[in-house]
Structure 1
Amino acid sequence: MNRPPALLWFAVLLLLLLPTAAGRVLLDLVGGVALVLLALPLLLTGLGWIGWKVLQSRMVTCPACGTASVKGVERCPACGISMPVGSTASASANDAVPASDVTIDVTAQEVNSDS
């Protein structure tokens, strides 16, 4: 490999240690790059969280099957039932239906295969 000569590393070290204008510019540049590398993941995380909350606020749940879809659709894409008009109607519709009406009860039975 082509390694830079030791004299180049010595010159960079001198620029960092000596209080010259070039050394200060180099230190400011290194500090700025380090700040960007540390702040960028935090900034992207915050923007992702805000985007997730905006997406959640634009979703509505089907009162029949529970499929989530974007507000403003007239029919559920999964079951075809008419979607509620208001954004709070889906929450009240889910509370109005008893859970026993929308769940399936499964019972286990023993099957004899002697025949």
Structure 2
Amino acid sequence: MERRIPWLWIGVAAALLLVPTSAGRLLLDVIGGLTLTLLLLPLLAGGVALIGWQIVRRRLRTCPSCGFASLGTEVCPACGSPFTSGDGSEAAPEPSGPFFWGSGSDREIDARDVTINVDAVDVEASASGEMGGRGGDGS
């Protein structure tokens, strides 16, 4: 048996949306809130996932022998070698790179802690003394 189309309920819903009553405004607000929630839910989930990944990444320990990364163990599950005390398990060092995207390795040199010596060289005097190079004579 064929099911009939519920014209009565469609008419009631259309009247609520078209007639400016408080029930129509409430229905539009609920529909708008649900739509906004559905649109922003992926962005919210992505933000929570990014923060969760950063927390997990800080707790990962890399084995100095084989390079296997694990969470919260004193001995490497892959090769059995113990993690060293300087691996960052007790006190994590501050990352030298950017907070979210830096590699955070301890072997990087922080540019704020080094001195760079620069020697000033007169370009025109050094270019005229060279025979075959970048002189302005086209050679």
TM-score of the pair, normalised by structure 1: 0.69
CA distance in 2, matches of 1:30, 1:59: 43
Q: Residue 19 of structure 1: SS of its match in structure 2?
A: coil
Shift of 1:74: 2.1
Count of residue correspondences: 91
RMSD, aligned CA: 2.2
Is 2:25 aligned against 1:24?
yes
Q: Residue 7 of structure 1: SS of its match in structure 2?
A: helix
Q: Residue 69 of structure 1: SS of its match in structure 2?
A: strand
The equivalent residue for 1:105 is: none
Is 2:74 aligned against 1:81?
no
Structure 2 residue runs of 5 or longer lacking an equivalent are 94-104, 108-139
Structure 1 residue runs of 5 or longer lacking an equivalent are 94-115
Q: Residue 45 of structure 1: SS of its match in structure 2?
A: helix
Q: Deviations over 1:75-103 (max 9, x none)?
A: 111111121223179x569xxxxxxxxxx
The equivalent residue for 2:52 is: 51
Q: Deviations over 1:41-75 (max 9, x none)?
A: 1111111111111000000110110100124x321
The equivalent residue for 1:101 is: none
Q: Residue 17 of structure 2: SS of its match in structure 1?
A: helix
Name the amino acid aligned to 1:15. Answer: L
Structure 1 residues 14 and 92, CA gap change in structure 2 (3 angstroms): closer
The equivalent residue for 1:63 is: 64
CA distance in 1, matches of 2:39, 2:106: 44
Question: Percentage identity across aligned positions?
Answer: 46
If asked which structure has higher relative contact order (CA below 8 Å, sep 6+), I would say: 1
TM-score of the pair, normalised by structure 2: 0.58
Name the amino acid aligned to 2:38. Answer: L
Structure 1 residues 16 and 45, CA gap change in structure 2 (3 angstroms): same
